[in-house]
Structure 1
Amino acid sequence: MPVFYKGELFSGPGGMSKGAQEAKVTDPQTGDIYKIEHLWANDFDADTCKTFGKNICGNEEDPSVHLGPVEKLPIGNQNILPDIDCLAFGFPCNDYSQVGKKHGLEGEYGPLYSYGVKAIREYQPQFFVAENVGGLQSANEGKAFIQILMELEECGYHLTPHLYKFEEYGIPQARHRILIVGIRNDLYEKGIEFKVPAPTTPTPDKYVTSKQAITDPPILDFSLNHDFPRHSEKVKTMLSHIPEGGNAWHPNIPEELRLKVKGARLSSIYKRLDSKRPAYTVTGSGGGGTHMYHWKENRALTNRERARLQTFEDDFEFIGSRESIRKQIGMAVPVKGAKLIFEAILKTFAGIEYDYVDPEPKVQLENLRAKQDKRAAKELANLV
């Protein structure tokens, strides 16, 4: 039974790992089952580590889940972090997000990808999966994306980066993320070449809607993490004037109930879901008005409803306060999205064909390196 043992950095509550656990492929020729098993993980948030431990390991305090900043993680120490066959890391997106300040590599979180690079160099896993927001492509005028790809390639891997639009894969949410799959060069040269799996719901009429995700099947009143939020009468009255898909600037809202804030009219502030479409992106932070709102009822979603949009099953229990859980859910990789990627990787190793598409953006690292060299030469010339 071919088993790939996985290490994970910036693990979050376990969306990536749950998808990896659920991904199993049977070789039709030999009957061998290809699967992925958790070996160790790391995150800096205590509640997040407990959530991961409970749901992935069966124990909130599992010693394989290492709490603390990645900078202090003993990467390469076989006694603490033993050898792995694959690595997953969703390095923090704060400095690459379109809704953030977009500091890129120069931000507080921008350089943290380098610990993924360090782990790849130390362990030389057979494959890795790195995840970040779509804004990674444009951070630092594209320099961040180029640098990250070049460093990963220099570790000895063939890369397939792709912007996945998860609504095209049956996820009830318009969540667009860059995932970089790396196959070690010696394996790639033997014919193990990862292909981007083709969308399973490629047209809008096939998308899973937010209403379908939340109501089919219904969420039971006693379900985990399903506490209903409390709102002031003013907020509930304002919401009553906002139609599906509308936000705090909808013209139906009476003047006395409107927010006294200029701009941001296309934002997600007090924005209702559209029951006929996938949800807009679930986020993990933000103050009043950013909690994602029900298409009909005058309230924000519960954490269990948000978890449904991230394709967590109802028996997946999040640990922590309501706001801590909201953050965990918003930062997670959709379980079914991760499962689809890992299944495609396992099929690649098993030699099983599947439908695929060309990656977007199409990246030729030789061209990127040439552009970077030209840019560096130009900047140097300007300094002379």
Structure 2
Amino acid sequence: MDIVSLFSGAGGLDLGLINAGHKIVWANDIDRDSCLSYEKNIGSHIVHKDICEVKAEEIPDCDVVVGGFPCQGFSLANKLRHSDDDRNTLYRQFYRVINEKKPAYFLAENVRGILSLDNGNAIKQIVSDFTEAGYRVKYKAFNTADYGVPQSRVRVIIAGTRTDIPKMADFQFPEPTHDKSNWISVGKALKDIPEPEETSKLFNHVYSKYKVTNRNYTGHRKTDPNKPSPTILARGNGKGGVCAIQHPLNHRRMSVRESATVQTFPMNYDFVGSMGSMYRQVGNAVPIKFGEHLGLMLKQLELVLI
């Protein structure tokens, strides 16, 4: 399918969809480093521009629109797309693009907290908005460890199918391929990566010297080498900076390369920017392997659009 990607970041979800056989015809992000990483590794079809300044006619027609939008302002309004809260702007833009381009399907990725935001009213309003726009909407929380990702990362996928498409061709969520009995451990995922101080040709194998404290606090907990990694973070030290997850040996923080491996980026994916920027790009991404599973479900629906 032809896919338009909004809030693309460094391209985690897009690469997964490409691996599943789809074509990203247009992508967009406001972060310059993310766009440079995307262009270097995936393609020049990404546009570095504020989505608020992009007119619908600048975006090519497509079968699917995908993207993840921030949700910080949702609890402040019932009519989210009509709220004056600036933090809802990107939700309104996601809605605008889908409402104007009318793709057959859309997929939105978000944090688990969106389900409980404003006592559950935020997700209800999102479903209501896209139902009004002409879509059958469903949503579900997924732990990416259940899909072969060596990381416990819970994310919500909101999926829409345009109402003129037969119900038998609704987008279906992928079934898990793993469970606790065969989850891939972070120790196994990183076992062949040398220490950053050792000579290697690995890209982005630099790491934060932020102190390892082993406290029961986000970003400070010990990493169990026999379990999937804790969620790779985009932020985490309370001051807006990155707090990288501890290496499975708990002697230092994971490097950018190791964090990207946990996010199932290929080893030759070369990120652009400062160390902090690269950590954020990795932490904001959808794991490639999970993106592939979503893409394979879309693949089953291609015949509907012929």
TM-score, normalised via structure 1 length = 0.71
Separation of aligned partners in 2, 1:228 and 1:130: 31
Cα displacement string for residues 207-229 of structure 1 (whole angstroms, at most 9, x for unaligned residues): 11111111257688220111244
Measure the CA separation in 1 of the matches of 2:120 and 2:89: 15
Distance change >3 Å, CA 269–CA 83, structure 1 → 2: closer
1:1-384 to structure 2, matched below 5 A, reads: 4-24=1-21, 36-57=22-43, 62=44, 64-74=45-55, 76-77=56-57, 80-94=58-72, 108-189=86-167, 191-202=168-179, 204-216=180-192, 221-230=200-209, 235=211, 239=212, 247-248=214-215, 266-287=216-237, 290-350=243-303
Gaps of 5+ in 1: 25-35, 97-101, 249-265, 352-384
Q: Given that residues 172 and 209 in structure 1 are in contact (C-alpha distance below 8 angstroms), is that contact kept between their aligned partners in structure 2?
A: yes
Greater alpha carbon shift after TM alignment, 319-328 vs 205-214: 205-214
Partner of 1:251: none
Where do 5+ consecutive residues of structure 2 fail to align?
A: none
Mapped contact 1:270–1:289 kept (Cα < 8 A): no
- Given the superposition, is the C-alpha separation of residues 350 and 207 from structure 1 closer, same or farther in structure 2, using an over 3 Å criterion? farther
* Separation in 2, partners of 1:11, 1:193: 24
Q: SS of the residue aligned with 1:171?
A: coil
Indicate the RMSD between aligned Cα atoms, in angstroms.
Answer: 2.3
Distance 1:94 1:311 in 2: 27
Instruction: Out of 289-298 and 321-330, give the one that drifted further.
Output: 289-298
Distance 2:123 2:51 in 1: 21
- The one-letter amino acid paired with 1:154 is E
Aligned pair in 2 of structure 1 residues 284, 16: CA closer, same or farther (>3 Å)? same
The one-letter code sitting in structure 1 at the alignment partner of 2:108 is A
Distance 2:73 2:149 in 1: 25
More displaced 10-residue stretch of structure 1: 211-220 or 296-305: 211-220
- Matches of 1:41 and 1:111 in 2, distance apart? 18
Letter of the 2:93 counterpart: Y
Structure 1: how far apart are the matches of 2:193 and 2:47? 35
Deviation at 1:15? 0.5
* Map of 1:99 onto structure 2: none
Per-residue CA shift, 1:8-45, capped at 9, x if unaligned?
Answer: 11111101100110003xxxxxxxxxxx1111111111
Q: Is the 8 A contact 2:99 2:133 kept in 1?
A: yes
Matched to 2:221, the amino acid is K
SS in 2 for 1:160: strand
Take 2:39 and 2:30, find their aligned partners in 1: how far apart are those partners? 14
- The structure with the larger Rg is 1
Which amino acid in 2 is paired with 1:145? I
Aligned mates of 2:89, 2:126 — CA distance in 1: 10
Distance 1:182 1:346 in 2: 15
CA apart distance, 1:330 = 0.5
Q: Percent identity?
A: 30
CA contact (8 A) 1:192 1:349 kept: no
Distance in 2, matches of 1:306 and 1:91, equals: 22
Q: Structure 1: how far apart are the matches of 2:270 and 2:291?
A: 18
Q: Distance in 2 between matches of 1:280 and 1:230?
A: 19
Contact kept in structure 1, 2:147 and 2:290, CA below 8 Å: yes
Q: What's the CA shift string for 1:58-78, capped at 9, x where partnerless? A: xxxx3x32222221122x11x
Q: Distance in 2 between matches of 1:229 and 1:164?
A: 29
Aligned equivalents of 2:248 and 2:193: distance in 1? 17
Contact 2:194 2:200 in 1 (8 A): no
| Native 8 Å contact 1:91 1:131 kept in 2 | yes
CA, structure 1 residues 289+73, in 2 after alignment: closer, same or farther (shift >3 Å)?
closer
CA contact 1:103–1:139 (8 Å) conserved in 2? no
Distance in 2, Cα, partners of 1:277 & 1:124:
42
Contact 1:273 1:295 in 2 (8 A): yes
Q: Pick closer, same or farther for the CA change 1:19–1:139 going to 2, 3 Å.
A: same
- Aligned partners of 1:88, 1:306: CA distance in 2, in Å? 24
TM-superposed CA distance for 1:155, in Å, is 1.6
Give the AA of the match of 1:6: I
TM-score normalized by structure 2?
A: 0.88
Using the alignment, how far apart are the partners of 2:184 and 2:174 within structure 1?
18
* SS in structure 2 of the partner of residue 328 of structure 1: helix
Number of corresponding residues = 293
Separation in structure 2 between the aligned mates of residue 13 and residue 103 of structure 1, nearest angstrom:
30
3-state secondary structure, aligned to 1:92: coil
